[in-house]
Amino acid sequence: MKKPLRSTQWFGRTDRDAITHRSWMKNQGIPHDQFDGRPVIGICNTWSQVTPCNAHFRELAQHVRDGVLDAGGFPLEFPVMSLGETLMRPTTMLFRNQAAMDVEESIRANPFDGVVLLMGCDKTTPALLMGAASCDLPAIGVSGGPMLNGKYRGTEIGSGTMVWKITEMLKTGEMKPADMLEVESCMSRSAGHCMTMGTASTMASMVEALGMGLPTNAAIPAVDSRRRVLARMAGRRIVEMVHEDLRMSKILTRKAFENAIMVNGAIGGSTNAVVHLLAIAGRIGVDLTLDDWDRLGRNMPCLVDLQPSGKYLMEDFYYAGGLPAVMKEIGKHLHKKALTANGRTIWDNVKDAVNYNEDVITPLGKPFKPQGGIAVLKGNLAPSGCVLKPSAATPALMKHKGRAIVFEDIDDLNARIDDPKLDVDADCVLVLKNCGPKGYPGFPEVGNFALPAKILKKGITDMVRISDARMSGTAYGTVVLHTAPEAAAGGPLALVRSGDLIEIDVEKRKIQLHVSDAELARRKLAWKPLPPHSDRGWVKLYCDTVLQADRGVDLDFLVGQSGAKVGRESH
């Protein structure tokens, strides 16, 4: 016999509490037959006007709702904390875990049998997956889709990536402020999230590669009618998933994460995916590590010629065949039997995909870039590891030794980076401290900071940069990120001084600070921790309990699951 649905513990009774549960719901015009034991589907919505990438989600939710009704389910939309990358200070990453807690507790406390997760802007995707994973109900992800390609005076421009270019062009005088205003209007010309292979597009691809979304979820533009169809189909499908008891833990297996890591390499995905997948894996109970990222991504070529590593944008990617075409191309590397949300295996989903444009999605035998994965470097400067994205870096700098120029924090960097008196040349290694999870606080995307103006004016566009920060998925450069432990946690990065020699060797996965152990021990004795950022509220809880980058930056007490056990009544 089938076990009764979770929601019947609210609606399927005849006692006083059940009257309370149903009666107040009826004030929304819900007929009594909706409480007849059909699956109750939560539509978890991150709509917000201050999250512009998700500002079309009220309409998208309607399509999900239609799908749930088509399939005989009972849809109930609910809001959760939204995280808008472009406005929130000091950084959305400070709040990813807070949003995940909101999602987890909202799902567990309410009468849901399954949930549809509406996600778009960078942190909304991992936050919803993390929170839902800790409940482990049937769940399906629907991404909001990328904006249409940016168009500026006959050229295609990509969100984020163009911002970094403009910043440099303004520094060198190549662009006038008046032109800048025109560029910003041309860059964001439709609903949707960043249309480069930045973090949002990467995470939408991860949803599809993990099997948590329907095929083609990653790339359909936000305003393409097929995005609405996908939302409706997801609404239909979640009802079936509830009947099949297809919970997240049946999809999010180690093999699914390994597939996702390989896909991240093949698409030249964001370094931020490293942190987010580690955190999601931690919630569902899969023991994923940084070493898995290096091992599985090491030999995976980057097939997709998209900004920031290449030239095309997500709209082109979708028309070329999107993620199914990429997954078919790398099929021999994938765990083909991994189960997905539509009940089919990942290989069943992609085996008939067609690549319609080999300029955008290159063949595996003739890849766009030979190395697509994330390189994990270790050494005395990063005992727990740090990451670099080879496909976005300069090949000549992948083995490099240089004199450190140290900035103690972001304010120090902003004050001195463009000082004509800064003693810097192109061979130096720029080091930025105190921008990690605890240090900033919140682990911001400042690791791809612009080069000193005097270097840019010489026509030099890249230098080795090392920090404990993240970088935007839309950024590029030879940028070593996520150095762990971070400076604020007393990691060796805190001990670097200007003039020290630093060496990176990406091929050998090494990062070395050429300072003796005895001298480092002396410096450690003199090191003092930063004063606390706050003595109350979320920031205090976060700073007291956040894990380092190599552990996914979740809060230590949130790792794992509490399931979806129904709590006691409130009346």
**Which one of the spans 192-200, 235-243, 334-342, 439-447 is the region binding ligand FES (CB under 6 A)?**
192-200
**Which one of the spans 13-21, 193-201, 301-309, 312-320 is the region binding ligand FES (CB under 6 A)?**
193-201
| Distance of alpha carbon 498 from alpha carbon 416, whole angstroms | 13
**Which one of the spans 38-46, 190-198, 475-483, 500-508 is the region binding ligand FES (CB under 6 A)?**
190-198
**Which one of the spans 60-68, 107-115, 194-202, 546-554 is the region binding ligand FES (CB under 6 A)?**
194-202
**Residue with the two structure tokens 């955008």:** 360
Smallest gap from Cβ 437 to ligand FES, in A, equals: 20
State which residue, 307 or 483, has the beta carbon closest to ligand FES: 307
Q: Which x/- pattern over 468-487 shows residues binding ligand FES (rule: CB under 6 A)? A: --------------------
State which residue, 21 or 165, has the beta carbon closest to ligand FES: 165
Q: Which x/- pattern over 121-150 shows residues binding ligand FES (rule: CB under 6 A)? A: xx----------------------------
CA distance between the termini of the chain: 31
Smallest gap from Cβ 161 to ligand FES, in A, equals: 11
Which long-range contacts link 449-454 to residues 24+ away (Cβ below 8 Å)? Answer: 449/413, 449/417, 450/164, 450/167, 450/168, 450/171, 450/417, 451/168, 452/417, 452/418, 452/419, 452/422, 452/424, 453/171, 453/172, 453/417, 453/418, 453/420, 454/418, 454/420, 454/422, 454/424
Total binding residues for ligand FES by CB under 6 A? 11
Smallest gap from Cβ 527 to ligand FES, in A, equals: 36
State which residue, 119 or 262, has the beta carbon closest to ligand FES: 119
The answer to whether 5 and 245 have CB atoms below 8 angstroms apart is no
Smallest gap from Cβ 230 to ligand FES, in A, equals: 18
Q: Between the CA of residue 148 and those of 112, 119, 205, 219, 502, what are the distances in Å?
A: 34, 17, 17, 11, 42
Token digits for 157? 């421009």
Tell me which of 9, 86, 249, 345 binds ligand FES, using CB under 6 A: 86
State which residue, 160 or 491, has the beta carbon closest to ligand FES: 160
Answer left, alpha or beta for residue 552, where phi above 0 means left and psi between -120 and 50 means alpha.
left
- DSSP secondary structure code for residue 83 in this structure: -
CA-wise closest residue to 313 among 350, 360, 270: 360
Tell me which of 47, 68, 74, 85 binds ligand FES, using CB under 6 A: 85
| Distance of alpha carbon 271 from alpha carbon 71, whole angstroms | 38
Smallest gap from Cβ 202 to ligand FES, in A, equals: 10
Query: Cβ atoms within 10 A of the Cβ of 462, count?
Result: 17
State which residue, 120 or 491, has the beta carbon closest to ligand FES: 120
The answer to whether 437 and 443 have CB atoms below 8 angstroms apart is yes
State which residue, 322 or 367, has the beta carbon closest to ligand FES: 322
Q: Which residues pair with 369 in a beta bridge?
A: 302
Answer left, alpha or beta for residue 460, where phi above 0 means left and psi between -120 and 50 means alpha.
beta
| Distance of alpha carbon 507 from alpha carbon 29, whole angstroms | 63
Q: Between the CA of residue 113 and those of 12, 143, 145, 373, 452, what are the distances in Å?
A: 13, 21, 26, 37, 54
Smallest gap from Cβ 86 to ligand FES, in A, equals: 5
Tell me which of 119, 139, 194, 502 binds ligand FES, using CB under 6 A: 194
* Binding flag, residue 193, ligand FES (CB under 6 A): yes
State which residue, 121 or 463, has the beta carbon closest to ligand FES: 121
| Distance of alpha carbon 318 from alpha carbon 385, whole angstroms | 34
| Distance of alpha carbon 500 from alpha carbon 457, whole angstroms | 26
- DSSP secondary structure code for residue 80 in this structure: -
* Binding flag, residue 200, ligand FES (CB under 6 A): yes
State which residue, 85 or 500, has the beta carbon closest to ligand FES: 85
Smallest gap from Cβ 193 to ligand FES, in A, equals: 4
State which residue, 127 or 489, has the beta carbon closest to ligand FES: 127
**Residue with the two structure tokens 């010309």:** 189
SS3 sequence of 135-187? HCCCEEEEECCECCCEEECCEEECCCHHHHHHHHHHHHCCCCHHHHHHHHHHH
State which residue, 160 or 301, has the beta carbon closest to ligand FES: 160
* Binding flag, residue 6, ligand FES (CB under 6 A): no
**Which one of the spans 93-101, 191-199, 270-278, 482-490 is the region binding ligand FES (CB under 6 A)?**
191-199
Q: Which x/- pattern over 148-167 shows residues binding ligand FES (rule: CB under 6 A)? A: -----------xx-------
Smallest gap from Cβ 471 to ligand FES, in A, equals: 13
Smallest gap from Cβ 158 to ligand FES, in A, equals: 10
How many Cα atoms occupy the beta-carbon half-sphere of 308 within 13 Å? 30
| Distance of alpha carbon 242 from alpha carbon 39, whole angstroms | 7
State which residue, 219 or 464, has the beta carbon closest to ligand FES: 219
State which residue, 85 or 550, has the beta carbon closest to ligand FES: 85
| Distance of alpha carbon 164 from alpha carbon 449, whole angstroms | 9
Smallest gap from Cβ 163 to ligand FES, in A, equals: 10
State which residue, 121 or 260, has the beta carbon closest to ligand FES: 121
Smallest gap from Cβ 122 to ligand FES, in A, equals: 5
Token digits for 392? 């976005």
State which residue, 46 or 434, has the beta carbon closest to ligand FES: 46
Q: Residues in the site for ligand FES, rule: CB under 6 A?
A: 53, 85-86, 121-122, 159-160, 193-194, 198, 200
